[in-house]
A and B are shown apart, each in its own frame.
Chain A
Amino acid sequence: MPDKVAVRGVWKSFPTDQGPLAALEDVAFGLAEGEFVSLVGPSGCGKSTLLNILTGFERPDRGKVLVDGRPIEGPSQRGILITQRGSVFPWMTVRRNLLFGAGGRPEDERESLVRHYMDLVGLGGFEDSFPWQLSGGMLQRVEVARALMASPELLFMDEPFGALDALTRMRMRAELLQILSRDRHTCLLVTHDVEEAIHLSDRILVMSPRPGTIQCILEVDAPQPRIMSSPRLVSLKERVLRELGLSARAGEPEAGLPVTPPVPTQAGPRGPLSRRRILRRGAPVNPRCADEAERVDAVVVGGGPGGASAATVLASNGLKVLVLEREPFPRYHVGESLLPALWELWDRLDVTRQIEAAGFVVKQGIRFGMFRDPEDVVLLTAEYPAYFPRSYTYHVDRSRFDALLLDNARRKGAEVREGWTVSDVVMRGGWVTGVLAAPNGQPPKPIAADVVVDATGRDCLLARRMGWRRPDPALNKVAHFTQFTGGAVRDVSALIPVPDRIPGSTTTDVHTIHGGWIWYIPLGGDTVSVGAVLDARLAGRLAEDPQAVFERALLDCPKVREALENARQAMPVQTVSGISYINDSFVGNGFVLVGDASMFVDPIFSAGVTLAIRGGVYAADCILDAFQHRDFSARRLKPYETRIRQPMDRIFEMIRHWYAILDGVHEDNMIRRAREIPWLRERLIVLLSGGYEKMDLESFLVAVKAAS
């Protein structure tokens, strides 16, 4: 049978400042009538470009796309595209949206079609609702129903469920299968989610990195309904991941060595872990080397926010957790601004009450002073309060905040030893099986553990040992900072509508200066933390006094100087290197990296603590799953990395964008534009509040570039 769709030798490139950029190179494949095919590939490999060509929105440079043997000429109802961004028209009721897709059919037929498809996607009764009254999952179903109204021969889906939460995504998959079982369309699905591809498709096309080409085609030879945990599909998933360069073996640090499972000879028989074991606190453990080495389920190295969060979740689920922290708490740490996105994580850690009671300074947004513009740009979370459980967060002094999180971990059952140094991990055949540790100054002894959580912060214990550390030279910054007493504090609560108004609340202030920016963070009382982040090249020659560099930076910023007019510097200027990095991998056999030990993000978006706590909680989720399966391999732990890494490329891009803004004193930029463009403002506020998963960063970036 001839293919319904034939893609023949398609090439496509885009002009850029550095000459043409090849996006697709000699892409060729076919889709049979009624077939469901998925396209997976790394970010930026040209999947979306390919879809744009298939739907007729773009033309290939070379090659052609044939539908039923005829070349396509522009977009048409024969092939409808569904995207994750969603294009349901928000100004029309659901019914009118569906009718929009129905084209020139007779009136009564259209009405009955609306009823049919609304029922099919399970939205009967919502015909007269407006899209803004529906949830994300419901909207995506409207999108599908509207597409079906046009009775397309082809359905193209570009990560249709990418913006939905995991549970809704699973449900949508099942529903899509059910819909397609009645109305068999030829489908092409672009997805990042390998499991989704395996669940839905007849065949999977794996694309290579840019310039994209079809690297291999895999058949999914299993009947529906598919059991995703069946050995056949699990090994298929492994195969796809390997093709994508993402499997445990590809990430194996000591390639060449035989992969050994976690030492069964010493541990005795390791049957599947019973659920009871996970839930029971302090259960007896396998007597591996019972008489000499200490043994726990998980060792967390480092008691900062990331480590404490991981320990809290693990201990709450009944695991025996040992936290080793080098410094006795409370220990000094630069004061920091948090993000409203943390409330959801704090709820999970069951620490919300303690944090509320601690009396930290309330932060309701960010103030940007741009290049001496007379008016600051003040962005308040309360302007779009629906995104977060609460529209405020705190400025904390880290010594108290960190101690509070660590105490919480202790209360949830984790054993915390302060003043202990971890000198190294114990490695056996490419597996981490424990750590070497002792109270400071004593000879280290081994402590065995199924999983080691590296939360050593910028020390990057394991990443350095593995050679995974990848500093980003483009973001090589140095921070000089100190604290003042008596700095002016601006109360912003008057700008906030009554229900969200908190008397005395402040903002995190960011002021641009030549070659960098200054933070100004009220920490309570009359103490403010002030720091200058400068490009490493401008941060002063090697021997120069940090105090002098800091004062020079202040000279460049009249607003901060004014605020500090009556203030007294309360401590010497301190200096840290702020070079950003993302390590090559966040997991290995028997270990995970959390917080700064996995990556360090430039402080401009105040994301450090939020990302660390998020990393700790998500790592713990994945480790609990590993305990369920008694499998601590890198492959089992990889979903943690995928989840945590997902928004990072974009966040790094945003940060680079910020530094590009600093170079353009007179130009329009996203911050200045946020004064007048509501949608830009909304997205910027969500981003600055830490809602990295609450919006589509990619489309935001595109929009930002268009705006500036």
Chain B
Amino acid sequence: MAAKLPSRDSIDRDFGGIVRPVSRFLPFLVVALLIGLWWWTAASSPIFPTPLAVVAGIIELARNGTLVRDIVHSLSRVAVGYGLALGLAIPLGSLMGWYAGVFRAFNPTIQLLRPISPIAWIPLAILWFGVGDASPIFLIFLSSFFPIVVATASGVHLVERQYVRAAQNFEVGGLRLFRAVVFPAALPQIITGMRVGLGVAWLVVVAAEMVAINSGLGYLIIDARNAGSRYDLVVAGMVTIGLIGFLLDLLMRRLESLKVVRWRYSNAR
């Protein structure tokens, strides 16, 4: 029995998509069923594309270079917006978690702004930044900033006291205390916040590109519909978005298995 106890890794994998051999075929079965259903309904519709048409659409987009260009545009916007969010949210969150005064100063504002969907900011973004790269980047920044700042603040706030005291006992303080003790202790929670932030960023980039710019995967979708109701290309864009989102999350999960944060996710202690 003891030998069969799962590690935390295996649980994560169970939930994350790469499954144990026993149930390996199950997700494929579900996907196959859905595609079957899709095919069956699409066959009788004049507009809604069949899976085959969508695959053809993806190939077409890949051939003429649109697909790669749009993916690169979307991803680079996410990279910039998300990078800005990280650069601001982690320092601010750390200060908020460490100093009660900073927390009291910023927390109400953050809690007030956080529930506003980034989508609601689109009109203001266009007003301030116009139609161009800056608008989606601003929206991505907004959407990923809040989850990261909140997770960082709570992670830093909850750093177990015995670690801080041990560091003080070795006369380590100031920036080194933060770098060597507080930050790594909070890192697992920060990573969780980063994962959530990236997920939202990817949701938001698509929405932003639908209205505020003329490139990227969101634009691809809206353009395919407006320019001739090419629903095969619409769905092709959606499938691509799903796949990339899935890969991004997988990438973030890899962060959680890093040795410096394993202590929090593993059961060992």
Contacts and interface: CB of A to CB of B under 8 A. Distances in A.
B71 to A, nearest CB: 34
A57 B263 contact: no
Interface stretch (B2-10, B38-46, B90-98, B233-241): B2-10
Contacts of B172: 100
A87 B11 CA distance: 28
Interface centre among A80, A90, A100, A679 (most CB of B within 10 A): A90
Nearest to A130: B259
Interface in B9-56: 10-11, 14, 20, 22-23
A77 B169 contact: yes
Contact of B266 (A87, A132, A139, A498): A132
Interface string B232-269: 00000000000000000000000000011111101111
A497 B6 CA distance: 8
B169 A390 contact: no
A386 B5 contact: yes
A497 B23 CA distance: 11
Interface centre among B158, B165, B166, B180 (most CB of A within 10 A): B166
Contact of B171 (A75, A92, A499): A75
Given A90-B263, A498-B14, A76 B171 contact: yes
Interface centre among A131, A133, A391, A679 (most CB of B within 10 A): A133
Interface string A645-666: 0000000000000000000000
- For chain A, which range describes its interface: under 10, 10 to 19, 20 to 34, or 35 or more residues? 35 or more
A87 B185 CA distance: 12
B262 A130 contact: yes
Interface in A90-125: 90-92, 100-101, 103
B171 to A, nearest CB: 5
A357 to B, nearest CB: 15
A91 B268 contact: no
Given A497-B10, A677-B158, A132 B269 contact: yes
Given A132-B269, A386-B5, A75 B168 contact: yes
A49 interface: no
Given A150-B170, A498-B23, A131 B263 contact: yes
B23 A132 contact: no
A91 B267 contact: no
B42 to A, nearest CB: 32
Interface string B152-166: 000000100011011
B198 interface: no
Contacts of B11: 497
A77 B180 CA distance: 17
A100 B171 CA distance: 10
Given A497-B14, A677-B158, A55 B169 contact: yes
B84 interface: no
A87 B171 contact: no
A497 B181 CA distance: 33
Contacts of A77: 169-171
A389 interface: yes
A399 B114 CA distance: 56
A389 B2 contact: yes
A83 B4 CA distance: 34
A86 B10 contact: no
Contacts of A196: none
Contact of A499 (B5, B158, B170, B180): B5
A85 interface: yes
A523 interface: no
Contacts of B83: none
Interface string B185-209: 1010000000000000000000000
Contacts of B14: 497-498
B263 A130 contact: yes
A81 interface: yes
Nearest to A703: B160
Given A85-B162, A132-B269, A390-B1, A80 B264 contact: no
Contacts of A126: none
A499 B172 CA distance: 44
Interface in A636-692: 677-679
Interface in B200-232: none
Contact of B5 (A74, A133, A385): A385
Contacts of A86: 162
A85 B260 CA distance: 20
Contacts of A391: 5
Nearest to B180: A100
A29 interface: no
Nearest to B183: A91
Nearest to B264: A678
Contacts of A80: 169-170
26 contacts: A80-B170, A81-B165, A85-B162, A86-B162, A89-B166, A89-B184, A90-B269, A91-B187, A91-B260, A92-B180, A100-B167, A100-B172, A100-B180, A130-B259, A132-B263, A132-B266, A132-B268, A139-B269, A384-B267, A385-B5, A387-B267, A390-B1, A498-B14, A498-B23, A500-B5, A677-B158
Given A75-B169, A76-B171, A132-B269, 19 more contacts: A57-B168, A74-B168, A75-B168, A83-B162, A89-B163, A90-B264, A91-B185, A91-B263, A131-B263, A132-B268, A385-B5, A386-B5, A386-B267, A390-B1, A391-B5, A497-B6, A499-B4, A499-B5, A499-B6
Top 4 A-B residue pairs of the complex, sorted by shortest distance between their CB atoms: A90-B263, A87-B166, A132-B268, A91-B184
Interface of A: 55, 57, 74-77, 80-81, 83, 85-87, 89-92, 100-101, 103, 130-133, 136, 139, 150, 384-387, 389-391, 497-500, 677-679
Interface of B: 1-2, 4-6, 10-11, 14, 20, 22-23, 158, 162-163, 165-172, 180-181, 184-185, 187, 259-264, 266-269
